[in-house]
Amino acid sequence: MEITIFKEITTEGVIKSIEDNSAKYHEGFYADMDNLPERTLVKKSAADIGDIIKELKASRIKITKANTAAVNKEHDAIVARLELANKPFTDLIDEYNVKRKKVLADEKRVIELRAAMAQKEDDHEMGLLINKTFEYDRLQFIEKELEIERARIKERDEYAEKQAKLAVERQKQGIIDSLQREKNKENARLANKEHCAAFNNKALGDIAKNCNLSLDQAKAVVTAIVKNQISNITINY
């Protein structure tokens, strides 16, 4: 193909060189798109061809008025050859972009999953912390209630013990007081008996002496007086 209209942009030799380089990829030349230098070379090749196509289209617009049919024919023929030559490179780039997009999507998904798991773990830890705080507060409340109840029990037991001691003391004192009253009563009875006996003996002596009676007779008279067996006569003790 003879290039005349667009010879300032490209030549048959340039296009043929591009086609030969592209043919290697058509024929199975392997390019590792995960390898940065190889990927860079493929992208540069595609970009160089793309730049020529862009320049051709821009130039066609400028010179179309002069010879529309011829310009379009040569333009379309060159672009068709260049696009065909560029297809191995654009296919590799498109395949890499699809693969890279999937990798990025997978990486994003992993990051999101990790973030979600971390958040879940944080939420779980927060939940555990809240539960622990709640359980701690509840335990503190229960311990406080138990302490109050223990104090009540202790106070009640001490009061009961004190009352029991007081009851025992009162009982002991009651027994002592009762015994003392009995003792006092007995002492009073004995003292009264001795007192009465002294008066009785004095009366007995006076009766025996003044009434010319024997002691037995005087004793009988005093005994009758004590027993109220003689009217209107009493011994003033």
pLDDT tens for the 237 residues of the chain, in order? 777 776 777 777 888 888 877 777 656 566 777 788 888 888 888 888 888 888 888 887 777 666 677 778 888 888 888 888 888 888 888 888 888 888 888 778 777 777 777 666 666 665 555 565 666 666 677 778 788 888 888 887 787 778 777 777 877 787 788 778 888 888 888 888 888 888 888 888 888 888 888 888 888 988 888 888 888 888 887
Question: What's the pTM value of the predicted model, to 2 decimals?
Answer: 0.41
Q: How far apart are CA 143 and CA 145, in angstroms?
A: 5
What residues contact 33, with CB distance under 8 A and at least 6 apart?
A: 39, 42, 92, 93, 95, 96, 99
Report the pLDDT value the prediction gives residue 91, as an integer from 0 to 100.
84
Report the pLDDT value the prediction gives residue 135, as an integer from 0 to 100.
64
Report the pLDDT value the prediction gives residue 113, as an integer from 0 to 100.
75
CB 207 within 8 A of CB 218: yes
Report the pLDDT value the prediction gives residue 30, as an integer from 0 to 100.
64
Report the pLDDT value the prediction gives residue 121, as an integer from 0 to 100.
64
Report the pLDDT value the prediction gives residue 123, as an integer from 0 to 100.
63
Residue 205, both tokens: 């002596």
Q: How far apart are CA 155 and CA 48, in angstroms?
A: 100
Residue 81, both tokens: 């050859």
